[in-house]
Amino acid sequence: MKKARIKTPLGVAEICGDENGISSITILEDSNILSTKIPEELSTCADQLNDYFEGKLTDFNLPLNPKGTPFQKSVWQALTEIPFGKTMSYQELSIKLGDIKAIRAVASANGKNPLWVVIPCHRVIGSDGSLTGYAGGLWRKKWLLEHEQPSTQIRLFE
């Protein structure tokens, strides 16, 4: 398994993967160690993450190889179908997956998403529009959602 660490506006992201695809992207709380050389298998992912954070990319196109149960993988696949700049509630996601009663299982699978940002679990919110749990911290979820919905309004007052 190859690893690389890159700087993002939200901290250092660690990318793990091999020739079969990217298996995980995690945000590290306390790390100043960055990779000086990105393995070839991870370079496209690093480039696409940088482009995303620079506002140049809205859809990732990467070979993914996350480890999880078939149910988790079905939830993660559904997450990739939430368009850039849009959100969906856990309830809506459960209905989309065919079982409104599976809302807790869907939320659990969402929380175990191993591919930070690339599988956009940050786009899932509470039914009332609230920002609900996020493994990377709610401040990061808020940042990501604002990044994907930049305001075009000019501020007149600070």
Domain CATH number, residue 42: 3.30.160
Q: Two tokens at 132?
A: 């609900």
- Whether 16 is catalytic is no
- Together in a domain, 80 and 136: yes
Query: pLDDT of 106-142, one tens digit each?
Result: 999 999 999 999 999 999 999 888 888 888 889 999 9
Query: pLDDT of 25-53, one tens digit each?
Result: 999 987 789 999 999 999 999 999 999 99
> Going by C-beta distance under 8 Å and a sequence separation of 6 or more, which residues neighbour residue 132?
90, 124, 125, 126
Residue for token digits 């509470």? Answer: 126
- Together in a domain, 77 and 104: yes
Residue for token digits 């995303």? Answer: 52
- Catalytic residue of the set 12, 45, 121, 125: 121
- Together in a domain, 45 and 78: no
